C-alpha cells in the first residue's frame, strides 16, 4: 500500500482506474462532487472501490458543512458553515451529524475540522469555514466537531497546519506568503496545539517567512520544528492537494518532496490517470497504521 491518497475521475470506476488501484494500491481514495450523483450510484462506487483497494485503506470525503459539502441536498442534508455554530454544544451536534452522513454514505475519513483562525483582511478561501477568530473558541469547538465525527466512527482531519487563516491569497490558485513573526503565529498554532492528539492532520501550502522560504507542505523545517515540535502532532500528517496552483512541479516530484519533508501521505485529488499513476509510482510503501 503506497503513501498516497488519490482522486478518481467520475461517478464510476473505470477499468484503467481499477487496474491501477489493484497494481499500485494507494492508502486511500478521496471523493468529490464530480464522483457523487445519488445514494444508489455512490453505494455502487464505494463497493467497487472497496473491492479493488486493500482492506486497510480508507475512503475519504472533503466534507465540512456549509460551502464545502460534496454530499448535498436533495439526497443528503445540508449542514451549516462552521462560522454559524454558536457554541461547543452546537459544534458537537454538527460533528455528530456530519459523521453520521459520512458513515452512512460509506466513508472512513472526513477532512474536518478547520482549525484556522478567521483573520480580518485575509482571503475568503477560509472565511466562514473558520470557527472564529479567538484561538480558545476555535480549539474548543474544533475538538467538539472531531469528537462528534469519531463518535460516528469517522476519522477527523484537522486542517490546515500550521494555520491558513492569515493567507491573503487562495492557495488553490497562488502561493500565499505569511510574513507574521513567530510570536504572532503562536495564536494560529494554539488551536492545533490544543488538538494535538487528534489522529490525522493536513498541511497548508503557505510560505511562513519567519520559518522557511518553502511552503509548509514541502518544508522539513516547518514540519519538524513546528508541526511535530511546537504543535506536538504525532498522528498521520497528510498534504493538502498537490495539484493546487500554490505548488509548482510534476505530481511525482511534488509527492516525493512532500514525503521527504515529513508528511506521511501525499494527497493528489484531480483524478487524472497519468497524474495518479505518477504519484503512486513515486510514493514508497506506507508503514504506519491508518486507523
**Assigned C-alpha cell, 264:** 506521511
Catalytic option among 116, 212, 240, 241: 240
Three-state secondary structure call for residue 203? strand
Q: Tell how far CA 270 is from the center of its chain.
A: 14
Among this protein's residues, is 172 annotated catalytic?
yes
- Whether omega before 113 lies within 30 degrees of 0, making that bond cis, reads yes
Three-state secondary structure call for residue 257? helix
Integer Cα distance of 240 and 263 in angstroms: 10
Catalytic option among 52, 75, 172, 272: 172
Nearest to 88 by CA among 11, 140, 159: 140
Dihedral sign, Cα of residue 281, residue 3, residue 139, residue 137: positive
Place of cell 457554541: 87
The residues that are catalytic are: 172, 240
Amino acid at each position: 500500500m503506497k503513501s498516497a491518497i488519490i482522486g478518481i475521475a467520475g461517478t464510476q470506476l473505470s477499468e484503467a482506474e481499477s487496474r491501477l488501484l489493484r497494481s499500485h494500491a494507494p492508502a486511500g481514495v478521496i471523493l468529490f462532487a464530480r464522483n457523487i450523483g445519488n445514494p444508489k450510484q455512490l453505494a455502487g462506487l464505494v463497493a467497487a472501490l472497496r473491492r479493488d483497494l486493500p482492506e486497510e485503506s480508507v475512503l475519504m470525503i472533503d466534507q465540512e458543512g456549509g460551502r464545502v459539502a460534496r454530499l448535498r441536498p436533495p439526497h443528503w442534508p445540508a449542514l451549516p458553515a462552521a462560522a454559524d455554530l454558536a457554541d461547543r454544544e452546537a459544534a458537537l451536534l454538527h460533528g455528530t451529524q456530519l459523521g453520521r452522513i459520512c458513515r452512512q454514505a460509506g466513508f472512513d475519513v472526513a477532512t474536518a475540522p478547520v482549525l484556522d483562525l478567521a483573520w480580518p483582511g485575509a482571503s475568503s478561501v477560509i472565511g466562514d469555514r473558520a470557527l472564529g477568530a479567538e484561538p480558545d473558541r476555535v480549539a474548543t469547538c474544533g475538538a467538539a466537531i472531531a469528537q462528534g465525527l469519531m463518535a460516528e466512527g469517522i476519522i477527523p482531519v484537522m486542517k490546515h497546519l500550521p494555520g491558513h487563516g492569515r493567507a491573503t491569497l487562495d492557495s488553490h490558485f497562488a502561493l500565499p506568503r505569511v510574513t507574521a513573526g513567530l510570536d504572532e503565529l503562536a495564536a494560529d498554532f494554539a488551536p492545533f496545539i490544543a488538538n494535538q492528539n487528534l489522529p490525522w492532520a493536513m498541511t497548508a501550502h503557505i510560505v511562513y517567512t519567519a520559518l522557511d522560504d518553502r511552503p509548509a507542505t514541502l518544508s522539513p523545517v516547518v514540519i519538524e520544528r513546528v508541526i511535530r515540535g511546537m504543535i506536538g502532532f504525532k498522528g498521520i500528517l497528510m498534504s493538502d492537494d498537490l495539484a493546487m496552483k500554490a505548488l509548482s512541479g510534476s505530481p511525482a516530484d511534488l509527492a516525493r518532496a512532500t514525503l521527504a519533508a515529513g508528511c506521511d501521505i501525499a494527497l493528489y485529488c484531480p483524478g487524472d490517470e497519468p497524474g495518479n499513476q505518477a504519484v503512486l509510482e513515486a510514493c514508497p510503501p506506507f508503514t504506519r497504521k491508518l486507523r
